């Protein structure tokens, strides 16, 4: 039973990884990402995608959340929460954080677009 759960988890991660890759190369055009393309890239049947995620929309939203969570973890501790460091009262660290955020958004317009649209 444990091996079955591990296999299911592995399949789910393959689907997520494939979808993230397709999102990153989609220029924010989610409509161009098909279930068939995801299945082909993940080397799984389309039915497994439906089984694990119910819909393409659910899968895309999960992947965008993962991408953004990963990016936020790479920022200095505290800045994702809007905190200022004790050592920098000049706002330099905050400026650096803001620059990092904008750089990410500029370099990944597809993620920005999907994130904003899913928040509507």
Q: How far apart are CA 77 and CA 22, in angstroms?
A: 29
Q: Residue 103 belongs to a domain with what CATH number?
A: 1.10.357.10
Residue 39 has pLDDT above 90, yes or no: yes
Q: Is the pLDDT of residue 6 over 60?
A: yes
CA distance 14 to 74: 23
Q: Does the structure show a pLDDT above 70 at 18?
A: yes
Domain, as residue range, for 66: 2-119
Mean pLDDT of the chain: 80
Look at the block and give the residue holding tokens 């500029």. Answer: 106
Domain total of the chain: 1
Provide the CB-side half-sphere exposure for 68 (13 A, CA): 18
Whole-number Å distance between alpha carbons of 92 and 73: 19
């Amino acid at each position: 039973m444990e091996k079955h759960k591990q296999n299911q988890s592995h399949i789910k991660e393959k689907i997520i990884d494939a979808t993230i890759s397709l999102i990153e190369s989609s220029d924010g055009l989610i409509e161009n990402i098909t279930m068939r393309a995801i299945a082909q890239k993940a080397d799984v049947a389309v039915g497994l995608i439906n089984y694990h995620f119910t819909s393409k929309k659910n899968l895309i939203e999960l992947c965008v959340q993962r991408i953004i969570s990963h990016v936020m973890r790479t920022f200095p501790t505290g800045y994702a929460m809007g905190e200022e460091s004790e050592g920098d009262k000049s706002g330099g660290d905050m400026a650096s954080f803001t620059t990092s955020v904008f750089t990410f958004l500029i370099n990944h317009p597809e993620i920005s677009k999907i994130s904003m649209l899913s928040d509507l």
